[in-house]
Structure 1
């Protein structure tokens, strides 16, 4: 039987997830990941992620839905087009996206990831 699972806006049981040195562009960000749900097929995940200030390269193999809980970030695609996202913004990033993520100060988001 399925049940409703609420996801608190917390990184309480989070794991530190460092940025690989070869992807780091600037800063020394600390990322925290609290994955709160993984489906039976292990291809759908959701939870809360946060980061301190820094900038790194992105190369998405998954589709992701994000909702910014607090803070601000700048996402730039491979063509140099930038979007600023901040608290209250919801957006998706599709598999195949490449570019960069820059956290301004600190940011926290809900995420839902689907992988083929």
Structure 2
């Protein structure tokens, strides 16, 4: 069975010889560099995967939160309970006149309110 003139066997021997002459064993430092590069790639893939999982989980959590409507503002502004203080440089020079009373503003009433400063509250 082992005929030295077997063409397939001689082709395999030629291929083996060619492989032995063309192959050179790498030194240990290049093998270590290749291994470290592969480890860095694996760690980068793991880090990206973790980021995607955490980000996706956060997005799902936000999506599952109940939607609360925004509070509606009141139709009118709140009235202050105390008047705001007025700076002393804006105070009027004269004391304010008394507000009109129903007797002075009704027809036939006396026009005494505001007469001090030349104004009249009566009709006219």
TM-score normalised by the chain length of structure 2: 0.17
| Higher RCO, 1 vs 2 (CA within 8 Å, ≥6 residues apart) | 1
Larger Rg: 2
From the two aligned structures, give the one with the greater strand fraction: 1
